[in-house]
Every structure is written in structure tokens, then in C-alpha cells.
Amino acid sequence: MGLVPERQRESTIGRKLWQINWSFVLLIALIAGVGFAMLYSAADGQLDPWSSRQMARFGFGLVAMIVFALIDIRTWLRYAYFIYFASLVLLAAVEVTGSVGMGAQRWINLGFINVQPSEIVKITLILALARYFYASRVEDVERMTHLFVPAAMLAVPVFLVLRQPDLGTAILILVTGITIFFLAGVRAWIFVATGLAAISAIVPVWKFVLLDYQKQRLLTYLNPESDPLGAGYHVMQSKIALGSGGLFGKGFLSGTQSHLSFLPEKHTDFIFTMLAEEFGMAGGLGLVGLYLMVLVYGFFIAVRSRNHFGRLVGMGVVAAFFYNVFVNIAMVMGLLPVVGMPLPLVSYGGTAMVTLLFGFGLLLCVFVHRDVTISPGTADGNY
């Protein structure tokens, strides 16, 4: 009589807390700690204005991440579309009430905080596409007509982000969405056909879509030395700082390029360069190693899920995280054009930090509920 049914015991908060992958949480905290230290260095040995704020945001985001992990995964499935459309409303509101920064209109001022909806859409799109594909049969995914709705769900945020304009984030959203399509089982010929169409659109996109500064970034990427004091300044100073760090760096708080203000955006987009200058190649590889561990943990969390929705959400979050890390590090090394992409958990930024922790909360939710089977009626509220 005093026994609790197995299903009820599994749903208790205490049991779910015990099931959370705390090693994964520790990895996230270690990477964030690297970010706190580098922001402290960027401010010449001061917690303000960046490091202290980043710590507070991480603390809030960490608590939210744990709460998100405890929510039943079937609840995320049921409200996935609502969450996605709410983020689209915020993204569309940027057009009307958004504030301008660095020449782009990307933020909404809520009074106590500035929110960047394009960062939020990165994660909500994963939820929505996973919701759409979770119950799709193989024969459904093979039909072009079945892909019209998810294609529109992907195209709308990409279009709105391009209007801000924010080419880098738009490309990241697009690539993450394409990854979900691939994981859902979309046939290879569809990707080939889409790729050929994209190639044929290069010329009109260059002429009618890209703005002058975006074209200049691409041209500078091919030859940064052509404008060393203008468009090529960022990447050239970044390369100088990376090279000057050597094997073990110049020491904490001792980076000359960053502390003498030669390195631009050292607390945001180019924070990896500052780390490599102060801690050398060893420090840079150490951070990359931590990122790789997060990716490996995330991959195995996703593939262990017994339900298709969990696998798609988990792999989507891992893919988005990988693309963000890869683009930022490749950008500061001059391997990709400068597109204004923060380094996850390390660069200064409130919305990017909290949104990423939201994504990791979903990933942990997949782990906690890895053995939950989802019936076709779950999305309608029936377990």
C-alpha cells in the first residue's frame, strides 16, 4: 500500500536531479570559467564591466538549464510550435522596435535587458523541426510536398535575420536547419538539387541581396592585406596576436596586442585570439579540447535517446554548438570571413549565453528522459 508506482517514482524531481549528467554540467562550467578569466583580462584585471555581469548571467542560465532539464520531454514536444512562433514574434518585432548596434538592428530593449531574438531562434527552430519530423514516416520524408512546411519554418527566420542584417547568424540558422533535415532522413538527391539551385543563385545574391560591407568582408577574406587599415584590420591583428602567443603564450594579463588595444572586439568575437596570445597554442588547444568533450558528451546523449524527438533535439543542439565554435575559431584565424560570431560560453553576451544554456538544458532533458517512449498522441496532450 505504501509503495509508489514505478512510473510515478521516475517522475519525481529528486530522481530526475540524480539522473542529470553532472559531468556534462561540470564541463560547461569549466568553459564558462575560462570565459570569466578572459573577460577579467580584457578589462585589464577588473571584474567590471564584463566578467561580473557574465558570471551573473551564467548563474541565472545555469539554474534555468537545470529547470529545463527536469521538464518532461513530452511537454517540450507539445509546446514546441508555440515556443517557436513566440520567438518569431520577437524576431519580427526587431523590425519595428529593435535597437541599433554596430550598424545593425538586432536587439529588443526590454528596459532591464537587451534581447537578441536571432540567438533565441537558433534553439527554438531545432525544437519546431524536431516536433515536425518526430512522427514522420520514411515515405513521408521522401516526398517533396512533406518538406514544404519545415522549409518555410526554416526560411522565415533566415529571411528576418538577413534583414537586420546579420549574415553570419542567418547562415548558422540555415546550416543548423539543414542538419535537422539530414538527420530526419531527407534523401540525398534533394540536398544535391537544393545545392545546385543555391550555386545558380550566387550571382543574383551578390548583386541584389548582399550589402556593400558584406561584399567587402568576403573580398577582404580572400586578400586581407589589400586593406590592412580598413576592412582587413581585424583579421590581420588577430593573426599577429595568434602568432605572437607562441607555444605557451605571454602570460595572463600580459597580452600586448589585446592590452594595447590593437586587437578589436577582444571581449566578444576575438576573445579566442586573446586567449591564444596569453596562453599560447597550448591554451587554445586546451579550450578546443573542452569543446570537443562537450560535443562527444552531447552526441552520445542524443543517440542514447529511445525516442526520435529526443534524438533530433539532442543532435540539433550539438550541431548548432559545433557550427558556432567552428565558425568563430576559423574566423579569427582567417580561415573564414569575419561575420561577427561570438565564441560559445566564453565571449561576452547575455542572450547568447542564456540561449545556449537553454539548448544545453534541452540536451540534458533528453538525457534524463532517454528511456521515455513517445506515442503519436503525445503532441496533442495524450500520454
Residue-wise pLDDT tens digits, 258-317: 887 788 888 889 999 999 999 999 999 999 999 999 999 999 999 999 999 999 999 999
All three cell numbers of 196, joined, read: 545546385
pLDDT band at 145 (very low <50, low <70, confident <90, very high): confident
Q: Which residue has the cell 498522441?
A: 377
Cβ neighbour number for residue 214 with a 10 Å cutoff? 17
Rounded mean pLDDT, 74-78: 94
Distance CA 218, CA 224 (A): 10
Rounded mean pLDDT, 204-212: 77
| Sheet (strand 114-115) strand order | 99-101, 104-109, 114-115
Burial class (CB in 10 A: 0-12, 13-18, 19+), 199: exposed
pLDDT band at 116 (very low <50, low <70, confident <90, very high): confident
More confident: 242 or 111: 242
Average pLDDT, the chain: 86
pLDDT at 291 (0 to 100): 97
pLDDT at 3 over 50: no
More confident: 104 or 95: 95
pLDDT at 213 (0 to 100): 72
Task: Please provide the distance, in angstroms rounded to a whole number, between the alpha carbons at the two ends of the chain.
Answer: 25
Cis, bond preceding 337 (omega within 30 deg of 0)? no
% of the chain beyond a pLDDT of 70: 89
pLDDT at 100 (0 to 100): 56
**What type of residue is 307?**
N
Residue-wise pLDDT tens digits, 320-351: 999 999 999 999 998 888 887 899 999 998 88
pLDDT at 17 (0 to 100): 85
Rounded mean pLDDT, 355-361: 96
Task: Identify which of 61, 69, 49 has the alpha carbon closest to the alpha carbon of residue 351.
Answer: 61
pLDDT band at 11 (very low <50, low <70, confident <90, very high): low
pLDDT at 135 over 60: yes
All three cell numbers of 288, joined, read: 578546443
Please state which of the ranges 178-182, 318-322, 377-381 shows the lowest mean pLDDT.
377-381
Residue-wise pLDDT tens digits, 86-100: 999 999 888 777 555
Give the number of residues written for the chain: 383
DSSP per residue, 352-368: HHHHHHHHHHHHHHHHH
pLDDT at 379 (0 to 100): 58
pLDDT band at 5 (very low <50, low <70, confident <90, very high): very low
Distance CA 204, CA 313 (A): 34
Cα→Cα distances 63→243, 284, 313, 370, Å: 39, 28, 20, 21
Residue-wise pLDDT tens digits, 225-238: 666 666 677 788 88
pLDDT at 351 (0 to 100): 86
Please state which of the ranges 32-46, 109-123, 328-342 shows the lowest mean pLDDT.
109-123
Cis, bond preceding 224 (omega within 30 deg of 0)? no
Rounded mean pLDDT, 169-186: 92
Task: Identify which of 332, 354, 358, 198 has the alpha carbon closest to the alpha carbon of residue 272.
Answer: 332
Rounded mean pLDDT, 355-359: 95
Task: Identify which of 60, 117, 44 has the alpha carbon closest to the alpha carbon of residue 86.
Answer: 117
Residue 249: CB partners within 8 Å, gap ≥ 6?
255, 276, 277, 278, 279, 280, 282, 283
pLDDT at 377 over 80: no
pLDDT at 8 (0 to 100): 41
pLDDT at 227 (0 to 100): 64
pLDDT at 344 (0 to 100): 95
